[in-house]
Every structure is written in C-alpha cells, then in structure tokens.
A and B are shown apart, each in its own frame.
Chain A
Amino acid sequence: DSGVTQTPKHLITATGQRVTLRCSPRSGDLSVYWYQQSLDQGLQFLIQYYNGEERAKGNILERFSAQQFPDLHSELNLSSLELGDSALYFCASSVVRGPGGANVLTFGAGSRLTVL
C-alpha cells in the first residue's frame, strides 16, 4: 500500500457521460498530481495542485477539470466523455521540500476508466 488512495478502481460508462475520480494523498503530502496513461502508453501529465491551489497544467482537455480540497484530497472531473478517454488515471502525491530533501512522487493504484 503506497498510502495514496484512489477511487473507484474501475469505472465503465457511456460516451457523453461525466465521471469523478477521487484521490487521497499520502499523509503529510501537500502536492497532488494527475496523470493519464492510455493503453501501452507512457504517463501524460494532466495537472498539479499544491495545498489547494493549481500549480501546473499539462495536456489537460477543457472537458476535464480538477480541484484540491482543504483536507488535501483531490478530484478529477471528466465530462462529455469520448471513447478516447478510456485510460488509466493515476494520482500521485509528493511532499515539497527544499533542495536536498526527499522530493518524489508516490502513486496510487489508479482508476481504470472504460468509455463504451
């Protein structure tokens, strides 16, 4: 158990629908990252939050949005779903320390989204 909790583990839905993926970071980690991994592909960075505020944005579609709440959990909202949105969505958390400190990503087990 990595300490990063993602729900749901599996989700099957239809095109045009909207889903919400949830992530609870590891205790003490302030930063949350979302990544998308399509079949046999690498990890594509979507968005990063630090202590409730958006810090960086990657290749996130306008149909997707995210937020980090005061208790530091994060949600990724995917709307108007298309077949191509089927993928594994990973959340990762990190504690942001200064130079020389431990600054690594810890991943959750992922949420597998299937759009039919």
Chain B
Amino acid sequence: GQQLNQSPQSMFIQEGEDVSMNCTSSSIFNTWLWYKQEPGEGPVLLIALYKAGELTSNGRLTAQFGITRKDSFLNISASIPSDVGIYFCAGQHNYGQNFVFGPGTRLSVLP
C-alpha cells in the first residue's frame, strides 16, 4: 500500500533550539495533516494543509505543503520540554478517502 516516509526517525535537541522534520511520498496528496501524539494518548491535530505551496502557522509551529504535492514540512521554533512526543504526518489523496500516516518522528527535548 501507499507509504509515507518521515525523517528524521528520532531527534534529540536542546531546549530553545529549532526543529525541522519532513514527510515525503511517491504519489500526490490533496491534503496533508500533522499530528502530535503523547504517550498513551490519541494523536492531536497540529496543522492542516490543503493547497500546494501553502504555509500555515500554529503558534511556534509552521508547516508547508510542498509544491510538488508529494511532501510536507513541519518546523518547531524555540522548542520547550512539552514539545516532546511523536509527530506524525498524514496524507489524503482525495477528499473523503482514508488518510495514510507516516511512521512518525520521535522528538526528545533536553533541558
């Protein structure tokens, strides 16, 4: 089935640093979503992207819908300890269809 690739797989950063992660696909998506999951909890939506080239911010988070429609990027600025968790990207080919999830990027923030 369709696969999404996320990189890096995991990262350890110092508090206050900026973070960048990306998600790539071999096929085109019409919607990209970014989620954060904390241990024992369900994924929580961070940012939704619907248009190629779109750049959307949510506080310290900024995500972009790649112009090729095959990738998306998430940046976190000035990281804090509560940013710890697993960040998943999800793509949808067409409206109403199922969403495909990437394997996640595990973020650890060191004080």
Contact = CB atoms under 8 A, between A and B. Distances in A.
Interface of A: 2, 4, 31, 33, 35, 41-45, 48, 50, 55-56, 58-59, 90, 92, 96-110, 112
Contact of B42 (A59, A96, A97, A110): A110
Given A55-B96, A58-B98, A42 B45 contact: no
Most chain B C-beta atoms within 10 Å of own C-beta, residue among A98, A110, A112: A110
B1 A59 contact: yes
A2 B44 CA distance: 8
B105 to A, nearest CB: 11
Nearest to A107: B42
Nearest to A41: B103
**Chain A interface SS verdict (over half):** loop
Given A55-B97, A58-B1, A105-B45, 10 more contacts: A35-B101, A43-B43, A45-B100, A48-B98, A96-B96, A97-B95, A100-B50, A103-B31, A103-B50, A105-B90
A109 B42 contact: yes
A87 to B, nearest CB: 13
B48 A42 contact: no
B96 A104 contact: no
A31 B95 CA distance: 12
A50 B96 contact: yes
A41 B98 CA distance: 19
Given A42-B88, A43-B88, A100-B50, A105 B99 contact: yes
B66 interface: no
A97 B103 CA distance: 27
Contacts of A96: 95-96
A105 B104 CA distance: 16
A49 B92 CA distance: 15
